Structures are given as structure tokens and as C-alpha cells.
Amino acid sequence: MGSWRLTTECADQIRPCLVELTERFGIPVAIMRDFGRAVIPAVKSFVEDLDEDVKILGCHLHFLKDIGKDLLEPSYDELRKLLRSYGLKASLQRLIREWGQRLGIKAKEAREDIKKWTRNTEKHQIPEGTKGLAIIRSLAQWALDYAADSQNLRFPFDRPYLDFYKRCKILRRAIDAYLRRPPSDPDVLRALKRLARVVDPVIADRNFYRITQRLSKRAALFDKLRKTLRLSPKVDSSEKNAIIKSEQQRASELNDIHQSLEKFKQSLIEIRPKRSPGHDLREAIDIILDHIERHGDALWGHVVNLPIHAGGGIRVINRTNNGLEFRFSGVKCGERRRSGRKVLTQDMENLPPASMLVSNLKYPDYVEIVCGSIDRLPEAFAELDMQESKSILEQESKAVKIDKETETVETASLSSADRSFIRNSLIEENILGAASSRAPRVSPLHF
């Protein structure tokens, strides 16, 4: 409906945009906003100046993100700093690259040997020679491929550093099982022990246990809240189009979610500790209850009664502004592909605000509103500033395909081919089996 480029996100610049939209399309029925410090006062002051009652709704996704950051960020930052202080990721990458150079082109040839080893009955014994070194290299790569445990979401919905810690801990316990029947090859045994020493800190430093225990308990509360709100940051298109619900069904579902949140809130009050031993749990519950108390009014009221001249009945407003957020992310993704640049500050500065509305031309009703009919679309484009449009449309780059399967020495710690192999083989099953076997109590190696 409107697109502007603001120098900064502040109430003084947001409010005129809302006024302009009102002049174009009339007074809105409701406004969906996030929980930014600038947006909240801008929307509030705008609605106060209107004669009609306009609902102010808060995005459920941003509500969850705000709670998740307040709930998990302190412990998560502490875990990240602790992992970086030991250089676990860098040390694993260094070992993998070193072993990849030693193996040379045999690293790719050894994949079939690794598959045979994972299917062998002697799973918990590392063989000798090149095959054993390739297996140990794959074990390290499995720990480094912690992104496989995520859902391609951002913090706080995904906690990649916590996933990395868990994989390192499982790997260390699996190594202990492999050392029960040590490899007969001294070089392979030395490599296995080197890998053990790299991941030793996750069991030797008790700070890891303290931090991850606290983080895991808080993450469980957050995930339960997310489940209560029945909100997924990304919805698969096949699922989205599988069932088309009526407005009455959506309104009923929304009411059910509201009741579920009230029950969840009541359950938090009941389990909230009142004495010092449960200090952290009490603090975590207070964070959630405080957010619900402050923003609860903006979370509901999505059912809107339409006037007779607009067709009557009800309409249910979306609970999030995901469409707008994903649209902006899509534009930035397209700009990165076009320019090849990671930092898009200059590109977004040169992009005209109207470019955000171009994708609306895919919808016939939008075209009808803008220029009357599809037949008048060329005429509408002819009225645009051709010089400004030309400078944007001429900027195109050709995609260059790079063959990553060349027969060269493996220098990357986790190449695309290796990542695909690690995820599609039985490596993970073997590591989990070894870690859960009857191995002795894991203790750091000192040799």
C-alpha cells in the first residue's frame, strides 16, 4: 500500500507515513505493528488523533522473539564466549583441513570405505590406515555440521551454539567408546586422541554444564510458549495451501489460542518458585509473565466486522507481519544475487522506495486499482521517470556456476560435498550408538 525510505527508524518519521496512507485509503480498521521502541509511540500517537476506534495489534512473531531474546540471550552469549575462548570450532576446522591434505584425493575415494564401516558389525572400532584417518575426519566434520540440527531460523528459535556444544559432548563420549578398542595403527590412534583433546573442554570445564543446563531449561519454557501460540516463523508453502480455512474457523482457532495462552500463563504462576533455590526458574517465569502483562492487550482483537457496503461478515487479521518481513528479506536476497555483495547499505540507498511494490503487479486486483486494467499498464509505466528506472533495470549480473567436484586436494573443513555425505550416511547413527554404548565414565585425556 505504501513504501518509504527512512533515514532512521524513529516515531517522527514513521507517523507521517501513517498519515499519508490514511489520506490515500481512509482510516484503517486496525494496525499491525512490531514491538520496536519507535513504532509503538508512533502508532499510539497516530491513533489518538483519529476520531474512530482503531485496533492496535502486536505481531505474535515479534512478541515471541522479544521474549526469547530476554529469556535466552544472557546464557547464550555466555556459552558463545566460552566456546570461542577454547577455539573449539577453529581447532576442529584446522584438524579437518590438515587431515584432508594428508589424504589428498583419497578423501573422496574413502567415502565408500566409510559407508562400509558404518554398516559393519564392528562399528565401535576404528580401522587402520587411510580408511581410519578418513573416518576420524568424518567424525570431526559431524561435530562441525551442527547446522543440520537447526530449522534454518534465527535466534532465539534456533540455538546453533547449543547444538554445537551438544554434538561435541556426544562426540567426546563416542571417542571414549572407540578408545576402549583402540586402533592398531599408531598414526590413527594419535589422530583419534588429538580429536579427543580438542573436544575435551566440553566435559572438563564445569562452566559448560552450568551454562547449558540453565539455557536448556529456559529454552524449554520458550519452546512451550511457542507451541502454545502455534506459531512457526516460516510456513511451508505446501502446508499453507493444504487447507484453506474459513473466517469463522480462523476466528475460532484464534479464540482457542487465546485460551491456551491464558492456561499457560496460569500454569507458570502455579509452578513459579517462591524461595531462593529456584531463583533462575523464577526469573525466567517473571520475564514471560511481564511480557504478557505489558503486551497482552495488543495480542488479541484480530476479528473485524465489515460494514454492509464492504460485503459484511467478519475478517480475521493475520497474527504476524511475516509477509512484509519476508518481502524485505526477499528484496535483499535478490540484491545480493545481483550485486554479489554481502553489505547492501549502498545498494538499498540507491533502490527507489517504489521498487518494493513492483511484485504487487502479479495480482490482477492490484493492477486494477493502480491503472484501471491490464491494458493500461504500459501507459502507466510510460508515465514513470524513465531515466531513474533505466539506471536500476540495467544493473544485472550473470550467474557463474563453479564446479566444486574437481579432483583436487580437500582444503575446506566442511565442503558442500562433505556436508551432503555426512548428512546422508550412517555417520550420525554410528556416533550416537557409540556414545550410548556401555563406555566407562568419560574423563579428559592427559597425554
**Least confident among 31-40, 219-228, 235-244:** 235-244
Predicted pLDDT at 114: 84
User: Residue 54 corresponds to which cell in the numbers above?
Assistant: 482503531
* Cα-Cα end-to-end distance for the chain: 67
User: Residue 166 corresponds to which cell in the numbers above?
Assistant: 551438544
User: Residue 345 corresponds to which cell in the numbers above?
Assistant: 547499505
Predicted pLDDT at 239: 42
Q: Which residues does residue 55 pair with via DSSP β-bridges, in sequence order?
A: 30
User: Residue 365 corresponds to which cell in the numbers above?
Assistant: 486486483
Check residues 331 and 159 and name the one with the higher pLDDT: 159
10-12-16-18 Cα dihedral, nearest 10 degrees: 50
DSSP character for 319?
S
Locate cell 516463523: which residue? Answer: 233
Region 200-204 average pLDDT: 93
CA distances from 220 to 83, 159, 224 (A): 22, 12, 6
Query: What are phi and psi for residue 330, nearest 5 degrees?
Result: -65, -40
Predicted pLDDT at 242: 43
Q: Is pLDDT of 395 > 60?
A: no
CB atoms inside a 10 Å sphere around CB 357: 15
Predicted pLDDT at 438: 61
Q: Is pLDDT of 39 > 60?
A: yes
Predicted pLDDT at 309: 76
CA distances from 76 to 162, 211, 213, 251, 290 (A): 8, 8, 11, 37, 21
Residue 52 makes CB contacts below 8 A (sequence gap 6+) with: 27
DSSP reduced 3-state for 56: strand
Q: What is the pTM of this model?
A: 0.77
Q: Which residues does residue 57 pair with via DSSP β-bridges, in sequence order?
A: 32
The span from the CA of 349 to the CA of 90, in Å, is: 36
Alpha helices in 313-408 (DSSP H): 322-339, 345-350, 364-371, 377-382, 386-393
pLDDT confidence of 3, banded at 50, 70, 90? confident
DSSP character for 349?
H
pLDDT tens by residue, 363-386: 888 888 777 777 777 777 777 655
- Name the amino acid, one letter, at 244: I
The span from the CA of 189 to the CA of 199, in Å, is: 16
